[in-house]
């Protein structure tokens, strides 16, 4: 009875032979000219060689533009980067002064703060440091912020200086955002 390693080598030989004979190996021949099929060594020059001069002159590459949908920042990931001694200084300019959408869990609500109503979000444990995220809203948003409850997950956006002070990252000019499409609010009970 052949050993397992002999069976493996025999199977490998059969597989290699079948791949090489089917044109999948280093001995494969290039595709026929004018088919529009290129191999890994081809370039744009090869593509233009397969076109007539009229086709090449009128050739326009197909480019599709899609609107970029900003995703909510994962607060823990953001804070891990900002608190990391190797990446924090380099990451701050890309965060500071930019309006950043985020999702977080409310720890507490302070509607009577001097700067405006505040929601404190859980930033998690970032490099051994427990961090909170302070979102300062406009006075006009006091009613909406007052309705927030500890433990509730919210979406908001705001502008930060990317400086963590006393284990708090502060965002100003915050606005509440509607729930994400992939996280819709609970459905209302059916009408009776």
Residue 162 pLDDT more than 90?
yes
Q: Please tell me the predicted confidence (pLDDT) of residue 127.
A: 87
| Inter-residue contact 106 to 123 (CB < 8 Å) | no
Say if 65 falls within a structural domain: no
pLDDT, position 161: 94
User: Which residues lie below 8 Å from residue 129, measured CB to CB, with a gap of 6+?
Assistant: 83, 164, 167
pLDDT for 150 beyond 60: yes
Q: pLDDT tens across 64-91, in order? A: 544 444 567 778 888 888 998 888 888 8
Residue 29 has pLDDT above 60, yes or no: no
Residues 147 and 94 in one domain: yes
- Does 171 map to a domain? yes
Q: In terms of domains, do 82 and 157 share one?
A: yes
Is the entire prediction scored with pTM above 0.95? no
When pLDDT is cut at 50, 70 and 90, the band that residue 6 belongs to is very low
pLDDT in the model for residue 69? 46
For residues 77 and 52, membership in a common domain is answered with no
Q: Is residue 129 part of a domain?
A: yes
Structurally, how many domains does the chain consist of? 2
Cβ pair 174, 101 in contact under 8 A? no
pLDDT number for residue 59: 62
pLDDT mean over 8-18? 42
CATH number of the domain bearing residue 116:
2.40.50.140
Residue 64 maps to a domain: no
Same domain, 96 and 170: yes
Residue pair 192/154 in contact by the 8 Å Cβ criterion:
no
Same domain, 35 and 86: no
Packing angle, helices 88-95 and 75-83, rounded to 10? 130
Identify the pLDDT of residue 38.
44
Q: What is the mean pLDDT of residues 91-99?
A: 90
Residue range 10-18: mean pLDDT, rounded: 42
pLDDT band at 167 (very low <50, low <70, confident <90, very high): very high
Write out the residue range of the structural domain in which residue 98 sits.
73-177
Is there a domain that residue 87 lies in? yes
99 in the same domain as 23:
no
Q: pLDDT of 38-65, one tens digit each? A: 444 444 455 556 667 777 667 665 555 4
**pLDDT of 185 higher than 90:** no
Which percentage of the chain shows pLDDT scores above 70? 58
């Amino acid at each position: 009875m052949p050993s397992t390693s002999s069976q493996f080598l025999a199977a490998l030989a059969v597989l290699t032979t079948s791949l090489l004979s089917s044109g999948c190996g280093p001995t494969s021949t290039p595709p026929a000219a004018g088919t529009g099929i290129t191999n890994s060594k081809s370039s744009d020059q090869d593509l233009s060689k397969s076109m007539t001069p009229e086709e090449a002159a009128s050739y326009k590459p197909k480019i599709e533009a899609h609107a970029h949908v900003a995703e909510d920042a994962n607060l823990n990931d953001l804070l891990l980067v900002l608190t990391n001694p190797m990446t924090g200084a380099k990451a701050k300019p890309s965060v500071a002064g930019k309006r950043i959408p985020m999702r977080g869990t409310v720890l507490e609500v302070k509607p009577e703060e001097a700067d405006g109503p505040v929601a404190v979000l859980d930033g998690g444990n970032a490099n051994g440091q427990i961090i909170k995220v302070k979102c300062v809203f406009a006075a006009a948003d006091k009613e909406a912020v007052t309705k927030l409850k500890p433990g509730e997950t919210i979406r908001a956006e705001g502008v930060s200086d990317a400086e963590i002070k006393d284990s708090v990252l502060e965002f100003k000019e915050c606005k509440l955002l509607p729930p994400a499409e992939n996280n819709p609010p609970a459905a209302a009970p059916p009408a009776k």
